Amino acid sequence: MLRRVLLLFVVMLALSHRALAGPVTWKATVAPVDLRAGEGGQIVLRATIQPGWHIYSLSEIKDGPKPTQIELVDGSPLTLAGDPAQPPVATAKDAITGKLCERYEHSVSFGLGFALAEGIIGPVKATLKVTYQAGSATRNDAPTTELVPVELTPVAGPAREDRRDAIGTLPTQDSTRPTDPIDPAQQGSVAEARSKGLFVFMVYCFGGGLLSLLTPCVFPMIPLTVNFFTKRQATSRRAGIRDASAYCIGIIGTFTGVGLFMTAVFGASGLQKLATDPYLNIGFAVLFVALAANLLGFFEIAVPQALQQRAQTGSRKSGIAGPIFMGVASTISSFTCTGAIVGSLLATAATGDRLYPLLGMLSFSTAFALPFFLLALFPQYLSRLPRSGAWMVSVKGYMGFIELAAALKFLSNADLVWATGLISRGLFLVVWAVIAGAAGLYLLGVLPVKGHHRGAIGPLRKFVGVASLAVALWFAVGSRGHSLGSVEAFLPPEPSHWIESFEKAKAEAKRTNRQIFINFTGVTCTNCRFMEKTVFTRQDVKDSLKQYVLVELYTDRTGAHRANDERNQKLEEELTKTVTLPVYVIATPDGKPVSIFPGSAPDPASFVAFLSQSHPRALSQR
């Protein structure tokens, strides 16, 4: 059973990789095939563009998206002659910038005439540097640079005099390439996958579920899942699979049912509002503290006798209620990190479409639930192994400390939403340092815990204990202001000096004749903290940001900030057609978007390119 599940997981991951590939692929060929050294030829550079997307022509677009640029990397035996040849192009109004732009969809072939140097023998390799910006009706991706290889093998013989000139004619185009302007009603990547059929659409959403597992919001649920199923006593292999399946049903049912319900009632931002609700976060904090106390032996959470009797008589409802509830809890705690796919699907559902968002959410939540299914199965088999020993008690106790650390994160979320300022970054790290230190001392046998016998302390336990003490020291040092890298994503944000009003930012941009950089963020958004602490602090990013008027717009606070944040969220949806966080917008002084960068940046260089290539100075040099 497990082998089949793992095989399915690998196959779907491979398929999702294909479905989530970039919207444009490039390939270069050389004509003529019988080219000799000293003769001229042509590189045909073909772009294949996925449905729903387009790229821009070679012509400059003032204050608009980035036009396509094609260069030959230095050191090649080829010498380009003249400007690249481009075919007639459809003109349409760009949905993001509002500019009239020349752009291609489906496919386009550019021609680059060149001359081959004399005396070349054997294979020739060159590289084209292509910089372009892909766009759809709802977004413009950050400008992308790709290196496209060019390979040819000259035919033996002297150069022919009538073939020494470079070929500058327009290459043959795909006869199926549309020439009409793009329909503004087309949507972004979700619609693109949808246009390829139901299977590709569902694979796309499945891949999004796998990617969401990498987000920080999911991490605290892993020990909670292992703890929960370790404590359950499965009477058989069948019962273990039943409980694991019930847990996944809770995840899938919550994502699909609650997601679409909240969207239908409250709009595409409903789930985000639910996830940032301070009372819900406090409820999770209390739950995690209670479970931690139980694991550490302070009290025992016992099932009522009546429910035990019903379970003994075979009541299915009482048997699966617990796993389903835990699945629901896991899902709700991860809503703020479920990524752009969920936001796009729910935005689609809010406009009236139901069937495809329903199928998409089913696919997304199934992928999200799959690893948890395996985690739920593992403790069931582990608990049945002979001679489990005292090490299992130590693992449970150590995970109790981890859940205390997770509880603090939920309390911090509530504090941030209410903007009380009670839990600062420094205090947060001090508490985490104390928890990590206590966990280390517990493993080393220095800190006794009721009901947990010391037993033998093996090498692995000593190693983890010492490592926990080192982490505690690291947190303590970080509480004095030192950066902790990616851990900063979990910490409360520090006070910002950015403008917090879009209207004030526009006024400043007009006064100084600069563009606006908008950071749509949230106080409970861990991906936002990751970007701010690990990418925004890079020197090249700092230098690029100096060129802009910086505005930071929160979208998830309540209390005195509620009305302002709701306006910010409406502005985000208007400018970016999404409500997911984080998302970054470069806008003109009058507030019109020039370029959009959604989500966190695993490759900081792409974010630097987004900043530098969207600036007016860069635009004017194209």
- Residue 439 is predicted with a pLDDT of 92
Average pLDDT of every residue of the chain: 75
Within the chain, all domains assigned CATH 2.60.40.1250 are found at 25-188
Condensed to tens digits (0 to 9), the pLDDT of residues 383-407 reads 444 444 456 577 777 878 888 888 8
**CATH code for residues 25-188:** 2.60.40.1250
Lowest-pLDDT range, 21-30, 374-383, 403-412, 522-531? 374-383
Condensed to tens digits (0 to 9), the pLDDT of residues 446-501 reads 888 766 666 678 888 899 999 999 999 999 998 887 878 767 767 887 666 799 99
pLDDT at 604 over 90: no
Which range, 240-249, 371-380, 381-390, has the best average confidence (pLDDT)? 240-249
Condensed to tens digits (0 to 9), the pLDDT of residues 124-175 reads 889 999 999 888 776 777 788 889 999 988 888 899 988 888 988 888 876 5
Please compute the mean of the pLDDT values over residues 302-329 and round it to a whole number: 54
Lowest-pLDDT range, 9-13, 100-104, 137-141, 332-336? 9-13
pTM above 0.85, yes or no: no
Here the tokens at position 517 are 């950089």
% pLDDT > 90, the chain = 17
pLDDT at 412 over 80: yes
Condensed to tens digits (0 to 9), the pLDDT of residues 344-359 reads 555 444 444 456 667 7
- Residue 69 is predicted with a pLDDT of 92
Instruction: Answer for the pair 101, 68: CB distance below 8 angstroms, yes or no.
Output: no
Q: How confident is the model at residue 377 (pLDDT cuts 50, 70, 90)?
A: low
- Residue 114 is predicted with a pLDDT of 92
Please give the distance of CA 529 from its chain centroid, rounded to a whole number. Answer: 13
Condensed to tens digits (0 to 9), the pLDDT of residues 274-298 reads 566 788 778 878 877 887 887 787 7
Instruction: Answer for the pair 575, 581: CB distance below 8 angstroms, yes or no.
Output: no
Within the chain, all domains assigned CATH 3.40.30.10 are found at 502-620
Q: In this structure, is the dihedral angle defined by the CA atoms of residues 408, 413, 414 and 415, taken in order, positive or negative? A: positive
Characterize the bridge pairing of strands 549-554 and 516-521.
parallel
Burial 374-408 (b: 16+ CB within 10 A, else e): ebbbbbbeebeeeeeeeeebbbbbbbbbbbbbbbb
| DSSP label at residue 383 | H
Statement: 502-620 belongs to CATH 3.40.30.10: yes
| CA distance linking residue 94 with residue 53, whole number of Å | 12
- Residue 476 is predicted with a pLDDT of 93
Q: How confident is the model at residue 508 (pLDDT cuts 50, 70, 90)?
A: very high
